[in-house]
Structure 1
Amino acid sequence: MPGTRQLDTPRTPSRAPGVAAAMSALVLAVLLASLDSTIVSTALPRIAEDLRGFDNIAWVSAAYLLASTAVTPLWGKLGDMFGRKRLYLLSTGLFLIASVACGLAQDLPQLIGARVLQGVGGGGMIVLTFALVGDIVSPAERGRYQGMFGSVYGVASIVGPLLGGVFTDQLSWRWAFLINLPIGVVTLVIAGRVLPAATRRTAARIDYLGALLLAAIATGIVLVTSFGQRWGWGSPSIVGLIVATVVLAVLVVPVERRAAAPILPVTMLTSRTVVFSSLIGFAANAAMFSVLLYLPTYLQVVHGVSATLSGVHMLPLVLGLVVSQSLAGRWSVRVERLRLILVTGMALNVAGLLLLGTLGAGTGTVALSAYFLVAGVGMGMVPMVVLTAVQNSVPAQDIGAASAVVTFARSIGAAFGVAIFGSLLTSDFAHRLHGLPVTGGFDPARPDTIAVLPSAVRHAALEAFARATGTGFLWLVPLVVAGTLLAFFLAPHRDTAKDAPVGSPLAQGNGERAPVA
């Protein structure tokens, strides 16, 4: 094709017999970590009832998100310093031990503590999985393999709540955690046998201060986004957290400049590819997780379908996401296509949000399926291509840290998008209800209670909720448009000599030895 060039990197490493087995272990790990952030959602009411903790039940989800986000930069840097395989096995083992502790918890404090530990392990599993792809797959094929992980996220977002409901109703909510054990053991066995072992070590001191600052920043952001609406956006607690987080963010740069082995190398903050890709990932994840979380709620409340059927209705979205992930990964083997894929994906995200912004109580199944398909295709084209662009722009020794930066930004984007969407949905719904005779057992904070309203009022309330949901999607459009504009100015590049997988001839030409499993 005129104007493009095929990367001159060898394909042999990606076709080695062990690559398929290694990727299967990594995919299972991503499935475990991503499922664990969704499978618990439908089990929360039963957990609150059994453990008598309704007032603090939100911490069951927030604890996992907070811990997994906070430790992401540290896991990424430690993997660069000491080898990713052993840390990957450690984080997976920690995740499984914590899963058992969650399943055996006898009260809410025990469960929340176990969820923190589980988040620490899960955060390591995710970022090290993404970084390990850089060790076992050539740069030309990273996009294709990274696409698998994005598809897993989409499937987990739909399957997770369904499994959580089945376990809660048919067995026990404890199985939402215990199911991780058999899958995780298989993952550990495969990973221990086939993942490449590190051949390079560093004697540099760990940047404890940088790690503490980044963890504190992540904690502040997650707490603000998770509890801003509950505590009040103008409350002293939230305002104080925002101020403290901003101050810590300002302190990070001078601290990391002085560190011998910084958790967040300052050079990454000056890399246009890393910074723009992280911001694009932030915007894309804010939209994606808002769609994945609130569309099932819309279907169940407005159209009256069960949790299982809402998953069936979401199949066009999942299909679009899975197919576009796969195709985007294959297309991104040419470095010049990365920007085109990201611009196209973000533009389709905008189109999907605009279509979802027209949702009403009377929107039909055919129209919904079309809207979901467009949104799914857009969501699938962005996340892993962003990660590939960043990995291919940094030296091999910084792949872990770079992967952690993007993963961190995407996690914060997801928390931010869901929090802002939830706040906008609640306020707009309450505004649209003004003047309606809604009394009795109806609670505006629980849209499922619309069913108790008299039929004369119920339809108007359902229309109000549907329109409020659509408005929430429209409010995300400016953020995604900004991400689209950034994609136009993204200049991904690839240094094949520095960025080849450690087992490839290019890496060996740089003086690195081929890894052994």
Structure 2
Amino acid sequence: MSTTSNSEAQSGPAHRIWRFWLIFLALCVSLFLTALDLASVGTALPSIVYDLNGTDSFVWVSSAYTLACTAVLPTSGQLADLFGRRAVLLVAILLFCAGSAVAGAAGSMAMLIAGRTVQGVGSGAIQVLVAIVIADLIPLKDRGFFQALTGAGVIDSRCADLNLPLCGIAFGIVFLFLRLRKPPVQSYVASVKSMDWIGNVIIIGSATSCIIALTWAGVSFPWSSAQVLAPLIVGIAGLALALLYDAFVAPFPVIPVAIIKNRTSIAGYVGSFFHYLVLNSVVFYLPAYFQSSKLAPPLLSGLYLLPTALCISPSATLQGIIVSRTGKYRLIVSPRIKHSIAGRHRSWAAMLVGMGLMTLLDADSPIAVTIPIQIIAGVGFGLVYATIFTVMAPLEPVHNASALSFLLFVRTLSSAWAIPISATILQNALRTRLPAAFLATIPAGHDLAYSAIPAIPALPEPLQREVRDAFAASFRLVWRVMLGLCGVGLLSVALQDHVPLHTKMDERWGLEEETHAEVGAARSEGEMCDKEGLQDLPNSTNADA
């Protein structure tokens, strides 16, 4: 029997039944658990490290979370297919809650890192399950608006004191309202046997190896050292081996070959990788530019970042609304405008222009000048979230879980690469640009940038000016590298064909116990949506919309 159907293709928010909105509320509350993280840990970490005497292991507070979150992403998609969305999401919330409790009660760095690891497992699974359930309930053509509501932010959550009550609320709402149909359930023994254990072990081990290497690189060991290169090479080779194993050997692959054999989907994965790499580098290091070159205190440097942060969510929401209204994601990703290269790829073009302008910033650039630059870059960052449609449009809905979990895996792995790459560029540039007298005051083995920044305001002139200029020049080099990576992301668009957004749904999943009236209304909406979509199609499926 076909695994796709139009019977649930409800065309707009106004036509959705009350049970849908309760489920969507459950998803939003679950995702909110992972919506405070980056800001919370950045503010609290210095105090935590001081209280727990963890200056030699503080980096693992973040890395353990990222490692666990990344490693569990592909596995979560397969678990959701085998054991059901609701059960896996509830377990994920419990794991996140347990990790938050351990982290909040930590009396040592080892206990804190252990709690962060469990939190990471829960967070990764929550993110995957929310994306999968949205895909189960909403056809791709209508998904932009809802995807924007749940996925436009750039802040995630690590504040243990808030997480515990939120976990209880999220668990209760999901338990009460997340009632979905599911395929005929096989026995637990059969489900366990259906897991791609070898593929999962290879992926988890490879991701762990990569992130350990990236955590050590430029901080504990040089990039050229065996301690960094060996695990990095093993990790990358392992990920390639996992793809080959799942393509040719695994009977029930965690990464089905169907989701990585289509050129357009591959281009979407590549674009997402570079999008998240550049985005995370800018969000992490732009405040450091303000603190070092503009002498802004930490709180004020965070406020100076607001033009970027405040533009990402609205522009991502806008792209979701436009995609939902038109069904044509290439209007966002790469519309063709005659005689205009930039016009063909306006979202990536905005990123390119924004990053290009950042390469001009120096120690004398007024803060007012940075605002429009950040707005341009932030709009580009938000619009490029439309790469999710590039990935999903060519795929059958039966692959929703695998494709979405792999997409989140790519994004999270990219985020793990962002900071070490930028940190290495910055460290090497500062070593050659900072005055020798100032370099001599920084203890060996410490992060050069973050050890130096607190001391800059107290430096006498002209040494302070020399240090500020050195930092500004070093950040310009970071922005130039990010500009080049934006160019690679732009080139990925050239590999994409325009595939119309479908209204098909995976009929194995959906709202539990729909009435005949609800199904009939949804079917009518879906058929009407399909007719409208056919009228909008160009003569050639490869033509731009």
TM-score over 0.5 for the pair? yes
Distance in 1 of aligned mates of 2:152 and 2:245: 37
Counterpart for residue 448 of structure 1: 454
Give deviations 1:387-439, integer Å, cap 9, x for gaps: 23333432333211100111111111111122111110111122111456655
Any idea what SS the aligned residue of 1:484 has?
helix
Aligned-residue offset at 1:450: 1.9
Aligned: 1:197 with 2:199? no
Of 291, 300, 307, 1:309 maps to: 300
Q: CA deviation at 1:43?
A: 2.1
Q: For residue 214 of structure 2, what is the aligned residue in structure 1?
A: 225
CA distance in 1, matches of 2:394, 2:519: 19
The 1:252/1:493 distance shift into structure 2, 3 A limit, reads farther
The letter for the 2-side match of 1:10 is: Q
Is 2:140–2:502's contact at 8 Å kept on the other side of the alignment? no
Deviation string 1:467-491 (CA, Å, 9 cap, x unpaired) is: 2112201111222111112123322
Partner SS, residue 114 of structure 2: helix
Structure 1 Cα separation of the partners of residues 436 and 50 of structure 2: 35
Q: 1:437 to 1:323 in 2, by over 3 A?
A: closer
| Equivalence for 1:122 | 123
Q: Given the alignment, which residue of 266, 289, 304 partners 2:280?
A: 289
Shift of residue 34 of structure 1?
4.1
* TM-superposition CA deviations, 1:66-121 (whole Å, max 9, x none): 00000100001111222212211110111011101100011111111111111110
The AA in structure 1 aligned to 2:64 is A
Map 1:7-406 onto structure 2 (within 5 A).
Answer: 9-11=9-11, 15-153=16-154, 156=155, 176-200=159-183, 201=185, 203=190, 205-230=194-219, 231-256=221-246, 257-333=248-324, 337-342=328-333, 343-383=345-385, 385-406=386-407
CA distance in structure 1 between the partners assigned to 2:416 and 2:166 by the alignment: 27
Distance in 1, matches of 2:21 and 2:238, equals 42
* Aligned counterparts of 1:251 and 1:333: Cα–Cα separation in 2: 38
Contact in 2 for aligned 1:150/1:380 (Cα 8 Å): no
Counterpart of 2:173 in structure 1: which amino acid? I
* Residue 513 of structure 1: aligned partner: none
Note if contact 1:142-1:388 (Cα within 8 Å) is conserved in structure 2: no
Of stretches 139-148 and 119-128 in structure 1, the one that deviates more from structure 2 is 139-148
Deviates more, 1:492-501 or 1:367-376: 492-501
Task: Output one character per residue of 1:194-221: Cα deviation in whole Å (capped at 9) or x when no partner.
Answer: 3242421455511111101111121122
Give distance in 1, aligned partners of 2:393 and 2:58: 41
* Aligned residues of 1:392 and 1:499 also touching (Cα < 8 A): no
Aligned 8 A contact 1:290 1:418 in 2: yes
Name which of structure 1's ranges 123-132 and 42-51 shifts more when overlaid on structure 2: 42-51
Please say if residues 281 and 422 of structure 2, whose CA atoms lie closer than 8 Å, have aligned partners that are also in contact.
Answer: yes
Q: Which runs of 5+ in 2 are unaligned?
A: 1-7, 334-344, 512-517, 524-545
Residues 443-480 of structure 1 show CA distances to partners (whole Å, capped at 9, x for unaligned) of: 84422222342222101211211221122011112221
Alpha-carbon RMSD:
2.5
TM-score by length of structure 2 reads 0.83
Quickly say closer, same or farther: Cα 1:23–1:460, change in 2 above 3 A.
farther
> Kindly tell me: are residues 495 and 402 of structure 1, through their superposed partners in 2, closer, same or farther at Cα, counting changes over 3 Å?
same
Q: Rg: which structure is higher? A: 2
Q: Is the counterpart of residue 480 in structure 1 residue 491 in structure 2?
A: no
CA deviations 1:106-157 (Å, max 9, x no partner) are 111111111111111011011111111112223222111111233332xx27
Query: TM-score, normalization: structure 1?
Result: 0.87
Report if aligned partners of 2:70, 2:409 keep a CA contact under 8 Å in 1.
Answer: yes
Q: Which deviates more from structure 2 when the two are superposed, residues 44-53 or residues 261-270? A: 44-53
CA distance in 1, matches of 2:178, 2:280: 31
The answer to whether the 8 A contact 2:78-2:254 is kept is: yes
1: CA distance, partners of 2:169 / 2:69: 22
1:339 and 1:488 in contact (8 A); partners too:
no
Cα distance in structure 2, aligned partners of 1:9 and 1:488: 31
Is it true that 1:428 corresponds to 2:429 in the alignment? Answer: yes
Give the 3-state SS of the residue equivalent to 1:489 in structure 2: coil
Once structures 1 and 2 are overlaid, which stretch shifts more, 116-125 or 355-364?
355-364
Q: Residue 276 of structure 2: SS of its match in structure 1?
A: helix
Distance 1:333 1:389, change over 3 A: farther
CA apart distance, 1:441: 6.2
1:502 matched to which residue of 2? 510
What does residue 460 of structure 1 align with? 466
Change (3 A) 1:506 1:147: farther
* Cα displacement string for residues 349-380 of structure 1 (whole angstroms, at most 9, x for unaligned residues): 11111111112111112211111111110111
Comparing 240-249 with 123-132, which one deviates more in the overlay? Answer: 240-249
CA distance in 1, matches of 2:236, 2:140: 36
Q: Provide closer, same or farther for how the CA distance between residues 109 and 440 of structure 1 changes in structure 2, counting only shifts above 3 A.
A: closer
Q: 453-462 vs 276-285, which deviates more? A: 453-462
For structure 1, which segment, 492-501 or 258-267, has the greater mean C-alpha deviation from structure 2 after superposition? 492-501
Name 1:515's counterpart in structure 2.
Answer: none
Q: How far apart in 1 are the matches of 2:273 and 2:306?
A: 25
After superposition, the Cα gap between the structure-2 partners of 1:508 and 1:220, relative to the gap in structure 1 and judged at 3 Å, is farther
Alpha-carbon distance change, 508 to 329 in structure 1, aligned in 2, over 3 angstroms = closer
Shift of 1:45: 2.2
Contact in 1 for aligned 2:102/2:114 (Cα 8 Å): no
Deviations 1:230-261 (A, max 9, x none): 21111111121123123323322342132221
Task: Indicate if the aligned counterparts of 2:435 and 2:467 stay in contact, CA closer than 8 A.
Answer: no
Cα drift, residue 507 of structure 1: 12
Q: Percent identity?
A: 27
Moved more, 13-22 or 288-297: 13-22
Query: Could you tell me how far apart the structure 2 residues matched to 1:138 and 1:243 are?
Result: 39
The structural deviation recorded for 1:28 is 3.2
Q: Which moved more, 1:64-73 or 1:397-406?
A: 397-406
Cα displacement (A) at 1:336: 6.2
